[in-house]
Chain A
């Protein structure tokens, strides 16, 4: 498998961001939630104690942004996992069953699709109290719809293949066929689509945090850092620009990587 250059560049950027997110805070003497009373809202500078400046409370923005990247990536990753399990299960069953069951199951997906889901995620985060765990559950509960569609289409294609027919003829029960023969063959498209899901879910998480419904202070996530930065941008633009650049770098890299993987693994458009 050979990736196109934008995808390879994206892989490098992603590696750098990940390495920074995991190791960067160790290199700085500051904690994500530690206040520096002497230096509140100072601008970025290499000579100072804070490379990327501090926020209104004197917390180091370099460390806080990386903490935000970590939290946002973790939430999006877990939510992708939730949507992957739900979507693959649902889509494979619908696609393999076919006929009326399939029509009914996909009709339900259509109904969910036409709901303005973000408003329901907002309601969900309210119902489930605001903790990171509930945020990823709420997001993952939404993300599985497209996955289910992709998987269902792929399963319908697989169902016509000879090895499935052979398994049916050999008397293998349907659940075993699904688990042993269908699901492993879905790996390619599922991997591609999961990579494309992560940036979308990062954006959804930071959207919720931006509105104050996601990750709560004093914990950091890219969304709530952006929200604070947006309030302070007249006096202290770096409070907006620093988390912003991390978000853009992460999301763009994941986007390009997903597209590259799709082109490399899967010639037909998903």
Chain B
């Protein structure tokens, strides 16, 4: 292979060769991953080491979440048994003993951790006869359905619209989409949700205003759309910026010079690198959607995880609030981890430790 006459140095070819070598080395590094997963300290495969590192990295975060939730809830003035009429001291002492609140704080913390390790979030302190596990088991499927569908809608509509805006840059469609996106980001779910209920539910009577019956999908349309909109709008902008950046890069020009069709350039050379930041945004997006679902559930009267959370915080229902915050945190942290791993899989640069 000889150097092209247009290039006055053999450097691009040298670079190509080192890339080939790097690719071979990576393939060689991957091989033991499928053969023997052992020997992690020595020449462990990068991908496995990366995954393990990320997995271990969630431990301090989880621990911080649990400790912070415990401390914040306990530092709050008042307790779960303060009511309008004060209880007799003997009754309160009995209640405190029954729930273990008479013990010193460190001991309560260790007990809570032990329960948590067994997957036991304890009894609710205000909703008698319910354990926190039971309350979460009721709410979680509703919230996950709502949040999952909203995330799906945001990604499914946000990516194509963002690509469209980038391809139609500075034309009417682009300006329209960007204007809508700014509005979509600025207007939160707790504004759109009641407005949707007002317009589609009360004025037009197309869809139910509120309520939840299992197996009635029309109940979910308005909440899902209201929940997805801010994330969708953000994704449109993110995808547009990302696609525009990739479009200006030399490898796209090369592909054009080779005479590839626009569709092939878009699908093979533009979208894969452009969607990497989108993958990274999915973690924060999931967090935003979970947060938003708190309000959307309230507005539409859905029996999800958000139910009783605010009330529980005001009533000092220690175990309920801690349990729900921890479950939310685990969901967010877990999703971030999955996204991290996917990014490592897609983008080889991330598998190597960054040099400052």
Residues of A within 8 A of B (CB): 98-99, 102-103, 111, 114-116, 118-120, 122-124, 126-127, 129, 199, 203, 206-207, 210-213, 223, 226, 229-230, 233-234, 237, 240, 244, 247-248, 251-252, 255-256, 259, 269
Report if B69 contacts A (CB, 8 A). yes
Q: Which residues of chain B in 275-325 are interfacial with respect to chain A, using CB atoms and an 8 Å cutoff?
A: 283, 287, 290-291, 294-295, 298-299, 309-310, 313-314, 316, 321, 324-325
A233 cross-chain contacts in B, Cβ below 8 A: 194, 197-198, 202
Q: How large is the interface on B (under 10, 10 to 19, 20 to 34, 35 or more residues)?
A: 35 or more
A240 cross-chain contacts in B, Cβ below 8 A: 194-195, 198
Do A207 and B190 touch across chains, with their CB atoms under 8 A apart?
yes
A199 cross-chain contacts in B, Cβ below 8 A: 186
Report if B164 contacts A (CB, 8 A). no
Given A119-B328, A119-B329, A234-B202, A252:B183 Cβ within 8 A: yes
Do A114 and B332 touch across chains, with their CB atoms under 8 A apart?
yes
Report if B29 contacts A (CB, 8 A). no
4 tightest A-B CB contacts, nearest first: A230-B194, A123-B72, A118-B291, A251-B186
Interface pairs (25), CB distance under 8 Å: A115-B329, A116-B328, A116-B332, A119-B325, A120-B69, A122-B313, A123-B69, A123-B72, A123-B73, A126-B76, A206-B188, A207-B190, A207-B295, A210-B190, A211-B295, A211-B310, A226-B191, A233-B194, A233-B202, A234-B202, A240-B198, A244-B191, A247-B191, A255-B185, A256-B182
Which residue of the partner chain A has the closest CB to B329?
A116
- Indicate the member of B194, B283, B294, B314 with the most A CB atoms within 10 Å: B194
Report if B61 contacts A (CB, 8 A). yes
Distance of A217 from chain B, by nearest CB (Å):
14
Q: Which residue from B60, B77, B186, B356 sits with its C-beta under 8 Å from A111?
A: B60
Given A111-B61, A116-B332, A118-B291, A213:B313 Cβ within 8 A: yes
Which residue of the partner chain B has the closest CB to A113?
B284
- Indicate the member of B186, B310, B314 with the most A CB atoms within 10 Å: B186
Q: Which residues of chain B in 12-68 are interfacial with respect to chain A, using CB atoms and an 8 Å cutoff?
A: 60-61, 64-65, 68
Which residue of the partner chain A has the closest CB to B76?
A127
CA–CA, A129 to B324, complex, Å? Answer: 21
Distance of A238 from chain B, by nearest CB (Å):
11
CA–CA, A251 to B329, complex, Å? Answer: 28
Which residue of the partner chain B has the closest CB to A213?
B310
Distance of B218 from chain A, by nearest CB (Å):
19
Do B182 and A114 touch across chains, with their CB atoms under 8 A apart?
no
CA–CA, A116 to B330, complex, Å? Answer: 9
Do A206 and B182 touch across chains, with their CB atoms under 8 A apart?
no
Do B182 and A255 touch across chains, with their CB atoms under 8 A apart?
yes
CA–CA, A120 to B313, complex, Å? Answer: 11
CA–CA, A247 to B290, complex, Å? Answer: 22
Do B186 and A123 touch across chains, with their CB atoms under 8 A apart?
no
CA–CA, A95 to B301, complex, Å? Answer: 47
Q: Which residue from B75, B182, B331 sits with its C-beta under 8 Å from A252?
A: B182
A247 cross-chain contacts in B, Cβ below 8 A: 191
CA–CA, A126 to B71, complex, Å? Answer: 12
Do B182 and A120 touch across chains, with their CB atoms under 8 A apart?
no
Which residue of the partner chain B has the closest CB to A227?
B190
CA–CA, A120 to B202, complex, Å? Answer: 35
Q: Which residue from A102, A223, A251, A269 sits with its C-beta under 8 Å from B187?
A: A251
Q: Which residue from B64, B187, B190, B287 sits with its C-beta under 8 Å from A116?
A: B287
CA–CA, A223 to B356, complex, Å? Answer: 44
Q: Interface 1/0s, chain B 204-218, versus A by CB < 8 A?
A: 000001000000000
B329 cross-chain contacts in A, Cβ below 8 A: 115-116, 119
